[in-house]
Structure 1
Amino acid sequence: MVKQFGFERVITSDSAGTSDYHVGEAPDVRAQLALRKRGLDISKHRARQVALEDFEEADLILAMDWENLTELQQRSPAQYRHKIQLLMRYANDIDAAVVPDPYYGLNEGFNQVIEYCTDACEGLLENLEKKAKKLLAELPPEENTPL
């Protein structure tokens, strides 16, 4: 999705959990299957727990739900808390505050999570695209080069 928006040179993303339950493990098989049907292979990804460096290095930290948002805010040094937001605030079409947890449900829950995350990530990238265009427009012509 980042490639679709032409941001692959300026945006990197990562994933980390607030708990240490599954550190080092591959994603849930149901998540892998749901994403594989959409042409994405996450089988090599391994779970890790959020670390202090994440708060320092990231420009934006997105939480899937209120519980994780609270946990991230509690762990974060005060000067980085402004970086932490709910992912779904960027959603265009789905009217939900949080992404539902599919872990204890059936396969369909993982498809729903993918739909929620896709909608919110598209909204986030559209937001960033608008900001980037505005910033580029304010630059002198010789510095105004595409990302």
Structure 2
Amino acid sequence: MKVLFVCLGNICRSPSAEGVFREMTTAETDSAGTAGWHAGKPPYGPMQEAAKARGYDLSDLRARQFTAADFDRFDLIIGMDASNLADIEDLRPNGNTTPVKCFTDYAPESGMTEVPDPYYTRDFDGALDLIEQCSKGLRAEIG
């Protein structure tokens, strides 16, 4: 199983989701952003620090922009919020059936409909709490 996590800039939510999920499973993981502003850059420093405090090392990750080719490379694409999902779907090639889901679909008990962006909220621990919860739900579903 190949899983791609997608957020806006690929420096907070999606690399954290990739880092958390890769610790929980043997699935192949990657992350990307719908915007290319940070391409080639590591995850945001405060996000890396919060993740590291929980035992997740994000230092090897680098931001990249989501492309239509990702639909063919991955078995499942996961967006962090409604805007990400819309941007992902805008690039879907005709006839492609790769599932695209919101990460919070895997943690309905959280009551959240999106993973808030800690770059703006500054709540890095809160984002990680939700990412861990969603990751556990995803692992339970796909193994």
- Bigger Cα Rg: 1
Structure 1, gaps ≥5 residues long: 130-147
Give the letter for the 1:34 counterpart. A
Checking the alignment, whether the CA contact within 8 Å between 2:22 and 2:29 is kept in structure 1 is no
Out of 54, 62, 66, the residue aligned to residue 38 of structure 1 is 54
Q: Which runs of 4+ in 1 moved over 2 A?
A: 1-4, 78-82
Map of 1:15-34 to 2, 5 A cutoff? 15-34=31-50
Give the CA RMSD over aligned residues: 1.7
Please list every run of 5 or more consecutive structure 2 residues that lacks an aligned counterpart in the other structure: 1-20
The DSSP-based 3-state class of the residue aligned with 1:13 is strand
Higher relative CO (Cα under 8 Å, sequence separation at least 6) belongs to: 2
1:101 is aligned, of 101, 117, 132, to: 117
User: How many residue pairs end up in the alignment?
Assistant: 123
Q: Name whichever structure is richer in strand by fraction.
A: 2
- TM-score where L is the length of structure 1: 0.76
Q: Select the residue among 70, 74, 81 that pairs with 2:86.
A: 70
Are the equivalent residues in 1 in contact too, given 2:71–2:98 (CA < 8 A)?
no
| Secondary structure of the corresponding residue to residue 78 of structure 1 | coil
Distance, in Å, in 2 between the alignment partners of 1:3 and 1:35 is 12
CA distance in 2, matches of 1:57, 1:12: 11
SS in 2 for 1:49: coil
Change (3 A) 1:16 1:66: same
TM-score by length of 2: 0.78
Letter of the 1:128 partner, please give it: I
Report the 3-state secondary structure (helix = DSSP H, G, I; strand = E; otherwise coil) of the residue aligned with 2:70.
Answer: helix
